Structure 1
Amino acid sequence: MLLVKVENPWKQNPWFESVAVAQERARKRLPQPVYGALVAGSERGQSIADNESAFMELGLAPHVAGQQGERSQATSVMGQDISLPVIISPTGVQAVHPDGEIAVARAAAARGTIMGLSNFASKSVEEVTATGATTFFQMYWTGDRDVMIQRMERARAAGAKGLIATLDWSFSMGRDWGSPEIPEKVDVKTMIRMAPKVATKPRWIRDFARSGGFPDLTAPNLAPPGGAAPTFFTAYYEWMTTPPPTWDDVAWMREHWTQISGMPFMLKGVCRIDDALRAVDAGVTAISVSNHGGNNLDGTPAAIRMVAPIASKVGDQIEVVMDGGIRRGSDVAKAVALGARAVMIGRAYLWGLAANGQAGVENVLDVLRGGVDSALLGMGHSSIHDLSPDDLVIPAGFHRELGV
């Protein structure tokens, strides 16, 4: 009998043609609890579902002739030039791949865009900026002011080109389909206990073993000077015990960052017009219209529904970006047409990272770039800056004007 060895086509060609394929490959590669942490939304998942489905309500109005042979997606966010209107949103511990944030930063640099680095990241700000990626450092309002000053000064010293303050996070543990288990730390004992859930994904385990250890669930950017990095849950406890910020606190944070660095400041998580106006008063450079990817208060409208109302009120004073539900280049084009300068992606690049490391993140950015280019071609534009609501079919009642 002649035996024919059939090669795995995925192994031969790891490239994927859509974010949906990246998600499916991530699902197949990751242990169920890890994948569950990527796709989870708070409570019934209403906001996370609306983040994606709202884009399907928006249509495009293409031209049949007169399209432009050359098209540019170049723009800038907070003074940093980027080659496409897509930047990396900061997400916590990226233990879906051994290289984590380092791989993502290298991909961002290779594709000419900005790396957003969470202070809950598993790699330090010094390691990430050393990749050459233009980095915006992200902070939650945790700890006292002296602690926050120390973290801002560390980010400045490492070469961060901007600060992102994320305030739309309540870490809701209530999920109708169950919350994924996040261990305090990953060690031999934890791996043995979770063996039934991870044993079916031997390639994922093997990749971490080859890198020299277990997934890192510590937060090195929250380490005190000369001290050890806290675990995720230690950092979470610090957040829980820190009084929520006031608008005066936001202004203080922005003022101190500007004084020590001269760099711009973004406030992430704005959903209401009145909050956007207060952000202008606080002196921010930019805001991100966001519901924290559906992981904050469930029932918050999709971010894309809130872009145009907010941009129409403050877009001439500060930069407006958005994040939430971006899966295709046409989604990016729709957001820009409604007034966003750029979008931030989270789950999309994490799926790419899980599927194929740095190359997977680059692949996701290439997929989005190709989709944006197709939209520009169809709309007859030569520049991303030419997109406008006239290019869209917007159903009545689509927008959500909150805080009018």
Structure 2
Amino acid sequence: MSATWFESVAEAQRRAKKRLPASVYSALIAGSEKGLTLKDNLDAFDELTFAPRTAGLSGERALATTVLGREIALPVLISPTGVQAVHPDGEVAVARAAAARGTAIGLSSFASKPIEEVAAANPATFFQVYWTGSRDDILARLDRARRAGAAGLILTLDWSFSHSRDWGSPHIPEKLTFRELLRFAPEGLARPRWLLDYARTRRLPDLGVPNMAEPGSPIPTFFGAYGQWMQTPPPSWDDVAWLRSQWDGPFLLKGVIRVDEARRAVDAGVSAISVSNHGGNNLDGTPATIRALPAIADAVGGQVEVLLDGGIRRGSDVVKALALGARAVLIGRAYLWGLAANGQAGVENVLDVLRTGIDSTLLALGHRSVHDLSRDDVRIPETFTRALGAGTRSSV
């Protein structure tokens, strides 16, 4: 086995930490304020235990499923994350890795690579939009996504401005000017392999967000686009329904954590929802997504596809999510660590780790397919679930 191979997502994280400059790595692991939600996303999975079988186990297991009209080889998709400067190839490497392992990728509006390049690398590319700018601005981005061949749309609403992190936020420059390069030099020199990756490309880490560029205009910086998002009034449910009407294809609403809002999403006509708290980078004190999943799946699982993101680190975590009602999961930090550790091959490695974990957990549970999983396969503590907004309907 290659020396670059790793056997767990935890090892991918350790290698990413050794390879990345400290401020780049800290940007990947940080959560809002005290990090309560970030921690709960991880800890909640540990509270769920399995009910394994010992005989009559299946010799073969089927991991494939269908999400948003696409057949994927395993119930794990790539969640959209912004500016993947942990590696020069960024989102293109991730897209190729996902295609090689038979799954789909969500591409952020705030990505460092244009949608045209990413969709060419993986036809199962779902373009993610934030409610930023005017309706005409948003429609222009949708039109570009169509022309690029996007397989579907992801509207992300689970991102709110985090005013602080108790451990401090890393300094991220607006642009990599000569002055900023001097400031960053000690960190970069401490991680020569990361610098060498960029030196080979003869390019500096790109902090621009090309998918937010207007035709004929310069590419805005991440913080320029972020500022526009902050100045845009948040969307109403009527806005969500309007945007859905503008996209003739699969439409995922990412950011649902309440039962009443899951119902409103159904009313708005979405194809799927993702139970999400933006990986702990939203309102701190929001419960783990796996705690909110069962009530949401019970309420709307028969009407739309229900996905989950937040805290997935092992194949057994994926199985727990599926047993509690998710059709599939999305991963974020896990694949970014793989990308940082070993580029495209590192992302493939992470997906292989999850695939192996799903397969071995299915074996122990005595199932032939991911579609056979149910709540009988896990023990759920009495105080585990959080049915937020149950019995009410959001009116905003």
- Identify the residue that residue 117 of structure 1 maps to in structure 2: 107
Which piece of structure 1 moves more, 312-321 or 179-188?
Answer: 179-188
Whether contact under 8 Å (1:187, 1:214) holds in the other structure is no
Count, aligned residues: 390
Q: Hey, what does 1:63 align to over in structure 2?
A: 53
Match of 2:214 among 204, 215, 224: 224
Correspondent of 2:297 among 300, 303, 311: 311
- Amino acid paired to 1:285: S
The residue that corresponds to 1:6 in the other structure is: none
Q: Which amino acid aligns with 1:327?
A: R
State the shift of 1:188 in Å.
3.1
State the one-letter code of the partner of 1:394: I
Provide the rounded CA distance (Å) in 1 between the counterparts of 2:107 and 2:56: 41
The whole-number CA distance in structure 1 between the counterparts of 2:180 and 2:123 is 34
State the match for 1:5 in structure 2: none
Question: Where do 1:233-244 residues align within 5 Å?
Answer: 233-244=223-234
- Partner Cα separation in structure 1 for residue 176 and residue 16 of structure 2: 20
What does residue 281 of structure 2 align with?
Answer: 295
**Counterpart secondary structure, 1:142:** coil
- Aligned residue in 2 for 1:200: 190
**1:148 equivalent in structure 2:** 138
**What percent identity do the matched residue pairs reach?**
67
Q: 1:399 maps to which residue?
A: 385
Deviation at 1:133, TM superposition (A): 3.8
- RMSD after superposition: 0.9
CA contact (8 A) 1:333 1:372 kept: yes
Match of 2:150 among 160, 182, 194: 160
SS at match of 1:402: coil
Q: Does the CA-based 8 Å contact 1:105-1:115 persist in structure 2?
A: yes
Are the equivalent residues in 1 in contact too, given 2:123–2:149 (CA < 8 A)? no
> How many angstroms does 1:60 deviate by?
0.6
- Measure how far apart 1:197 and its partner are: 2.1
Amino acid paired to 1:397: T
Partner of 1:3: none
Partners of 1:188 and 1:67 lie apart in 2 by 62
Q: Deviations over 1:183-214 (max 9, x none)?
A: 10124331111112222001111111111211
Q: How far apart, CA to CA, are the structure 2 residues paired with 1:213 and 1:123? A: 14
Structure-1 residue corresponding to 2:339: 353
Distance 1:213 1:129 in 2: 22
The code of the aligned residue for 1:354 comes to A
**Does structure 2 conserve the Cα–Cα contact (< 8 Å) formed by 1:122 and 1:216?**
yes
Query: Distance between the aligned counterparts of 2:203 and 2:197, measured in 1?
Result: 9
Q: What are the ranges of 5 or more consecutive residues in structure 2 without an aligned counterpart?
A: 391-396
SS in 2 for 1:244: coil
Q: Match for residue 264 of structure 1?
A: 250
Secondary structure at 1:109 match in 2:
helix
Q: TM-score, normalised by structure 1?
A: 0.95
- Tell whether 2:323 aligns with 1:333: no
**CA displacement 1:250-295 (0-9 Å, x = unmatched):** 000110112xxxx110100000000000000000000000000000
- The C-alpha deviation readout for 1:71-97, integer Å capped at 9, x for no partner, is 101001110110000000000000000
Distance of 2:100 and 2:229 partners within structure 1: 34
2:349 corresponds to which of 363, 371, 378? 363
Alignment deviations for residues 313-342 of structure 1 (CA, whole Å, 9 cap, x no partner): 000000000000000000000000000000
Q: Secondary structure of the equivalent of 2:238?
A: helix
Tell me, in whole angstroms, the C-alpha distance in 2 between the residues paired with 1:128 and 1:293: 23
User: Runs ≥4 in structure 1, deviation > 3 angstroms?
Assistant: none
When normalised by structure 2's length, the TM-score is 0.97
Task: State the Cα deviation string for residues 207-235 of structure 1 (Å, max 9, x = none).
Answer: 11111211001000001012221001100
Amino acid at match of 1:368: L
